[in-house]
Chain A
């Protein structure tokens, strides 16, 4: 044998080793734990703050290099999956010919002695002659079994040889599953988009990418509604979406959490929502002069406060705000800046019943929110996965395969008729490739049904 052939054999032997599958399965199980303990796919800063003060502080960089922050996509983890796939394929090929030989045996005579000694053998006597009994038995058995061998006073029959292939169906399904997953990760994409009520978008943000993805059509959000149960918990998020293509409305659909919009292989899922702050009308009341000044502004702007009382930075709109332990409802937050003074933080509740709120601050100016216009936006998860039909096919195949592999077996039965004194003795026994207890029952039932049949024909 040449060196090349030897190394080829070595590789083949390595991958056909059942030890490899066992070790790989447990290694995958063990390593998978890491990614459930370390929160995945966060920013670098997150890991530094999280681990900085712990004993792992110095290890953040090493963890990062090992891909532990996105471990299920790390090269070493995918390499393990690849090894498992190769292992499954090679093992299956290696064993297939043996299995086929066992499943569909060529006429190889059996050893009747072996079956005469099986533990599950059943026997009974009949008054019929050996020939008569043999005929009836032959007919009955061939009803549900394929007769393989008819020997000297005995028959040997079997069924379900093909069920030995169940495990190959399972292995094939796993390979298809991995192929489907791979296809999805190469050809598919995952992204998200926020659409403000009334707005239309034609591109989406892609995960881990700076460049937005342009769509062949646009999507308009006509309305976004949140429904609540009486208890105050959310019952439903509903976005009314319209797909527009070439200027025409082609599809209209209300989506909620479990019913996405699907169009041209791209799916839109309800995933979040929020509000975009719009115009804010504030009025400033000067304590000194008593004058009231209405001013229009937006979050993020800094505006002059009349009478030279400084500047107001409009920081943020909050849908609810806790002040000294009380929820004062939707509020606008701001900071008053004046030369040579510490910045003053102000909270401006929008509830008209709390219009006097800022007066309690006892400042030089009191601010009241007169009007606030916000628009809701719906947050949609967008995905496309051309591998999905393949993955779903593999799911079905896998379950069918499990059922065959676990609950169906290759059954062989042996029935012998011999003359014993004045009567005829019938012996029934059998074996199967799995589920011994089930097979013992099958033998018992076959014996009982044969006994009944023979008695009826007596």
Chain B
């Protein structure tokens, strides 16, 4: 039993939690969400355990480093961030239906990490450029930010599904957040994500300066993170200054998450640049 084995099983735990959340929504069974939450918590604990174990294993192999150095490891941390952040949101806002969107995202991330033939789950030694203490700060902050944007994306989807009549507002269940809570929560998530994306870009800049002598070189990864930053900056300004709410804001949130996805995967697989560790 090793970390990769544990982590591959976590995929199914998240899948189960996601199914329960979706079922709770569809069949209006509030009770199911309680079990879904416990399963999510179990998944998150296992996910973190796998992460820590992988860290230990790398030391046992004599190439010890934080497991944040390639695509597989970043996906694992991404899934942890989504699950933990979602649990925080559910505890604080008590709107478990968001889990019907957050958990499938956590599931997809782990499924991609464990099942895709493109993703290598071997523990590899650190390349010279990655041997820096900035690695941990940079990767963790970026992915916490991405996780918040992922949840904001889920919230925007809920908004659209509501809008398209997929949900009857008059139903008795308290599962569906009303527009104000949806709006507030999306805003909270985007602020959190924006703060962490900024810390991620800044730690990346400081690191780049110590490794390459330039804090910014318009490399595709850097540029795409900045594009993402611009989109969410537009989101925040549209909401606070224009007073935008609802549909238009949800569209920007979705566009922003597309930029996140491209920054994360698109740049690694489609464009070339300095930031090629992930693939």
Give chain A's interface residues, CB within 8 Å of chain B.
18-19, 21-22, 25-26, 28-29, 32-33, 35-37, 39-40, 72, 181, 190, 229, 231, 233-237, 256-260, 267, 269-271, 381-383, 385, 388, 391-392, 395, 398-399, 402-403, 406, 436-437
- A182–B127 Cα gap in the complex (Å)? 32
Q: Select which of B63, B93, B209 is within 8 A of A388 by beta carbon.
A: B209
Interface contact B210-A437, CB-CB below 8 Å: no
Q: How far is the CB of A302 from chain B (nearest CB, A)?
A: 38
Residues of A within 8 A of B207 (CB): 258
- When C-beta atoms are compared, the residue in chain B nearest to A236 turns out to be B128
Q: Known: A33-B227, A36-B223, A236-B128. Is A260-B184 also a contact (CB below 8 A)? A: no
Binds A, one of B7-15, B108-116, B193-201: B193-201
CB neighbors of A among B164-220 (8 A): 184, 191-192, 194-195, 198-199, 202, 205-207, 209-216, 218, 220
B261 at interface by CB-CB < 8 Å: no
Interface contact B241-A18, CB-CB below 8 Å: yes
Residues of A within 8 A of B230 (CB): 25-26, 28-29, 32
- When C-beta atoms are compared, the residue in chain A nearest to B230 turns out to be A29
Residues of B within 8 A of A259 (CB): 210
Q: Select which of A19, A35, A235, A395 is within 8 A of B128 by beta carbon.
A: A235
Q: Select which of A25, A40, A260, A436 is within 8 A of B233 by beta carbon.
A: A25
Mind listing 6 A-B residue pairs with CB under 8 Å? A26-B230, A36-B223, A36-B271, A269-B211, A382-B213, A395-B202
Interface contact A383-B205, CB-CB below 8 Å: no
B136 at interface by CB-CB < 8 Å: no
- A56–B124 Cα gap in the complex (Å)? 41
Residues of B within 8 A of A18 (CB): 237, 241-242
- A300–B233 Cα gap in the complex (Å)? 57
Q: Known: A35-B218, A40-B218, A233-B127. Is A25-B194 also a contact (CB below 8 A)? A: no
Q: How far is the CB of B17 from chain A (nearest CB, A)?
A: 25
Residues of A within 8 A of B128 (CB): 234-237, 256-258, 270
Q: How far is the CB of A44 from chain B (nearest CB, A)?
A: 20
Interface contact B129-A436, CB-CB below 8 Å: no
- A135–B242 Cα gap in the complex (Å)? 44
- A253–B210 Cα gap in the complex (Å)? 15
Q: How far is the CB of A373 from chain B (nearest CB, A)?
A: 27
- A350–B271 Cα gap in the complex (Å)? 38
Interface contact B237-A25, CB-CB below 8 Å: yes
Interface contact B216-A181, CB-CB below 8 Å: yes
Give chain B's interface residues, CB within 8 Å of chain A.
63, 93, 124-125, 127-129, 131-132, 184, 191-192, 194-195, 198-199, 202, 205-207, 209-216, 218, 220, 223-224, 226-227, 230-231, 233-234, 237-238, 241-242, 259, 267, 271-272
Q: Known: A32-B230, A72-B218, A399-B199. Is A233-B242 also a contact (CB below 8 A)? A: no
Residues of B within 8 A of A40 (CB): 218
- A229–B93 Cα gap in the complex (Å)? 49
- A403–B129 Cα gap in the complex (Å)? 31
Q: How far is the CB of A324 from chain B (nearest CB, A)?
A: 30
Q: How far is the CB of A450 from chain B (nearest CB, A)?
A: 24
Q: Known: A259-B210, A269-B211. Is A229-B198 also a contact (CB below 8 A)? A: no
Looking at A28, A72, A236, the one whose CB has the most chain B CB atoms below 10 A away is A28
Q: Select which of A229, A258, A398 is within 8 A of B210 by beta carbon.
A: A258
Q: How far is the CB of A63 from chain B (nearest CB, A)?
A: 17
Interface contact A36-B191, CB-CB below 8 Å: no
Q: Known: A36-B271, A190-B214, A388-B215. Is A436-B184 also a contact (CB below 8 A)? A: yes
Residues of B within 8 A of A406 (CB): 191-192, 194-195
Interface contact B231-A231, CB-CB below 8 Å: no
- A392–B216 Cα gap in the complex (Å)? 12
Q: Known: A22-B237, A237-B128, A399-B202. Is A271-B212 also a contact (CB below 8 A)? A: yes
Interface contact B198-A37, CB-CB below 8 Å: no
Interface contact A229-B125, CB-CB below 8 Å: yes
Interface contact A258-B184, CB-CB below 8 Å: no
- When C-beta atoms are compared, the residue in chain A nearest to B222 turns out to be A36
Q: How far is the CB of A118 from chain B (nearest CB, A)?
A: 15
Q: How far is the CB of A369 from chain B (nearest CB, A)?
A: 31
- A37–B271 Cα gap in the complex (Å)? 7
Residues of A within 8 A of B215 (CB): 385, 388, 391
Residues of A within 8 A of B212 (CB): 269, 271, 381
- A54–B226 Cα gap in the complex (Å)? 30
- A384–B157 Cα gap in the complex (Å)? 47
Q: How far is the CB of A315 from chain B (nearest CB, A)?
A: 29
- A181–B218 Cα gap in the complex (Å)? 13
- A269–B132 Cα gap in the complex (Å)? 14
Residues of A within 8 A of B184 (CB): 436-437
Looking at A257, A381, A436, the one whose CB has the most chain B CB atoms below 10 A away is A257
Looking at A22, A40, A181, A383, the one whose CB has the most chain B CB atoms below 10 A away is A22
- A236–B126 Cα gap in the complex (Å)? 10
- When C-beta atoms are compared, the residue in chain A nearest to B192 turns out to be A406
- With A39-B272, A231-B124, A391-B205 known, 11 other A-B pairs at CB within 8 A are A22-B237, A22-B238, A26-B230, A26-B234, A29-B259, A233-B125, A258-B211, A269-B212, A391-B215, A402-B195, A437-B93
Q: Known: A22-B238, A233-B127, A395-B205. Is A269-B213 also a contact (CB below 8 A)? A: yes
- A397–B271 Cα gap in the complex (Å)? 33
